[in-house]
A and B are shown apart, each in its own frame.
Chain A
Amino acid sequence: MTGTWFIRGAHVLGGKPADLVVSDGVIADCGTGLSAPAGAQLLEASGLIALPGLVDLHTHLREPGREDAETVESGTLAAALGGYTAVFAMPNTDPAADTAGVVEQVWRLGAAAGYVDVAPVGAVTVGRRGETLAELGAMADSAAAVRVFSDDGDCVSDPLLMRRALEYVKAFDGVVAQHAQDPRLTEHAQMNEGPLSGTLGLAGWPAVAEEAIIARDVLLAAHVGSRLHICHVSTAGSVELIRWAKSKGWQVTAEVTPHHLLLTDQLVSSYDPVYKVNPPLRSEADVLALREALADGTIDAVATDHAPHPVEDKDCEWSAAALGMLGLQTALPVVHEAMVETRLLDWAGVADRMSIRPARIGRLTGHGRLAGDHGLVGDDGLAGDSGLAGGERLFEVGAPANLVLYDATASWVVDPAALASKSRNMPFAGRRLPGSVVATFLRGRPTVLDGKPA
């Protein structure tokens, strides 16, 4: 039911109310005092905030291989319900997404499900084993048109291999998204290394294991003049390194997860594996540094690292449990609480960090489009502030109608059983979060209406 939609009175990017006409899959008009085209379906949106459809740079859809934890269909439905119109599917599947065949399969499953655009991330190395480069060009040239490459879950720890990958993907404007974790410094690691790891008797996961890789990789990216993206930044020290790299003008971007913006390692004292995640939950000081970095643009994007796991992989002792948390349906409310309620970001800033910049990092041209933003962002992509000011921006007429309507006055108590994911590893269970997604449109077609699958 693409049809024509008239969305009345939404606060675009949290600004003054405006009307939207969605027709033939694109934004046909956007402005104040518009009249509804004949035959248009009316969506009364007064009081709701309209944002460009969210883009997640970091989603684990688990298919192929772990369909007991998640499928492309269940994961992308969760994404749509969370306000997303595009997700980047991480390649740590079974088999790994290291060939054109696998990335095309994931891409086609996403298209068939139809909830969001699925952009597969290709593995950097064969089998994600960190030994030889995967056929990156074949994945780039495939129907999936892969632009983001990562061995996520594992670090490309060999410095020479990392250098070559950074250089090689320049041929097709690709970016290497590094999971920054020195494997030797984190052998058997269980939680953030700090006072609590010592008393809980859980092997420490030191911040330096992340920071040392980031330091090395920004230098490599500068040396070969390539784009580098840092996945799930979790420490204050990492923020400092990225800030320094950006100050040099190097093409470095970074993401932070919602859970690292809200939760600290103190939760691990429950030994409840729902809090076990990679990178681990860090200290309060790290959380505050991450928020500040997201606010000032040092960190470009919020990315969920949505990582579904079946119940039995979490309902056990800590050391035996799997690493990861669900995130797609709670990301926007968590950012609302951690960044908007704290006045660190306005809604334009949220749109920038959750849609515009991630779309640009991943080279998704159909997402995160606002009127008049040409030249808004520098050639390096993304350094510096967006310059967005709430209330002054409108959607780009003619761009694909990818958008989300959000009720910032609502609140809800998170019930894992009510989530669309096949898994239940939800660290915000029982917690009251602000806001709720009312509707999501993918290329003019509602995927979510009244907070439910359309």
Chain B
Amino acid sequence: MKRHLLSAADLSRDDALLVLDTADELAQLANRPIKKLPTLRGRTVVNLFFEDSTRTRISFEAAAKRLSADVINFSAKGSSVSKGESLKDTALTLEAMGADAVVVRHGSSGAPHRLAYSGWIRGSVLNAGDGTHEHPTQALLDAFTMRRHLGGSVDGRRITIVGDVLHSRVARSNVLLLATLGAEVALVAPPTLLPVGVHGWPCSYSYDLDAALPKSDAVMMLRVQRERMQAAYFPSAREYSRRYGLDARRFGLLPEHAIVMHPGPMNRGMEIAAEVADSDRSVIVEQVTNGVSVRMAVLYLLLGGREPVEVNA
């Protein structure tokens, strides 16, 4: 494993399988009366969130606490320079407190990369979502969830990711990780919401959801922000929903065994119909549960074998 987890591309196939297998073991803990391990006792994990994301922050917090780490939540809403303290000064503050790991969520693509490589801090950096770049632990928990429902492996499985790929860090990380794990990934989106250069990604892409669904073992619906229509990515929420929403009719096109996923938060009635989100083949709630185990595995593997960061005198 590398020192930092900034992109799903940082994980080799062996690394990714190690995280998922470790997460499997750690998930057993959840069934025990005492859910805590002493592994990271005395270590400090900082949750540095420049964007609101209650669910991701709580998931990391629970993961770190179950490994007995000390957790500091640092909410620094607003971007640097324009308002308040800069990313650099925030990083130097954390460094002075001796953070062993910094879990960072930031609205600017590449901000975790800057934290990791600018020499501001010594601890490991975990990307908890940066701009429209990546969200690698989301991809890991998605793969973990798929493995559980698709016979223990995603190798050779067909995964369809639908929606605003252009602005989605979840899609980028999923494409990279699933390709590493041997899955066949298909993107479906209106042409306006696929990035330039998508033809070079390790996946296929198309504009026709109806054609893609019958071949899918899992379908992942991405959140689509209604504001996107102001920038003419699509004409209206209604038209988007009609062409790319997973409604009951389209749900019927999926094979019997296929599962429905969503990274949340959902726009019910927009990209996914309520009855689909709540169906027994929806694993959306389970994704949240699995997030804790996967993040425990990542923290354990990044910090477990490493010397603690000392606080400078």
Residues in A lying within 8 Å of B, measured CB to CB = 190, 193-204, 206, 270-272, 312-313, 315-320
Contacts and interface: CB of A to CB of B under 8 A. Distances in A.
Contacts of A317: 79-80, 87, 106, 108, 110-111, 114
B114 A271 contact: yes
A201 B134 CA distance: 8
Interface string B190-215: 00000111101100000000000000
Contacts of B109: 190, 200-202, 271, 318-319
A95 to B, nearest CB: 22
Nearest to A188: B231
A319 B196 contact: no
B114 A197 contact: no
B34 interface: no
A200 B113 CA distance: 11
A272 B111 CA distance: 10
Nearest to B117: A270
Nearest to B50: A317
A318 B196 contact: no
Contacts of B82: 320
A320 B88 contact: no
B88 A200 contact: no
Interface in B91-149: 106-111, 113-114, 117-118, 130-134
B157 interface: no
Contacts, number: 85
Interface in B264-285: none
Chain B interface, DSSP helix/strand/loop, else mixed: loop
Contacts of A195: 196-197, 200
Given A316-B87, A316-B88, A320-B108, A201 B131 contact: yes
A319 B111 CA distance: 9
Of the candidates A194, A198, A203, the one having the most CB atoms from chain B within 10 angstroms of its own CB is: A198
Contacts of A194: 196-197
A319 B130 CA distance: 11
A202 B110 contact: yes
Contact of B132 (A201, A272, A315): A201
B313 interface: no
22 contacts: A195-B200, A197-B195, A198-B197, A198-B198, A200-B133, A201-B109, A201-B130, A201-B132, A202-B109, A271-B113, A271-B114, A315-B118, A316-B80, A316-B86, A317-B79, A317-B87, A317-B106, A317-B110, A317-B111, A318-B114, A319-B131, A320-B108
B197 A318 contact: no
A266 B72 CA distance: 36
Contact of A198 (B80, B118, B131, B195): B195
Nearest to A322: B81
Contacts of A316: 80-81, 86-88, 114
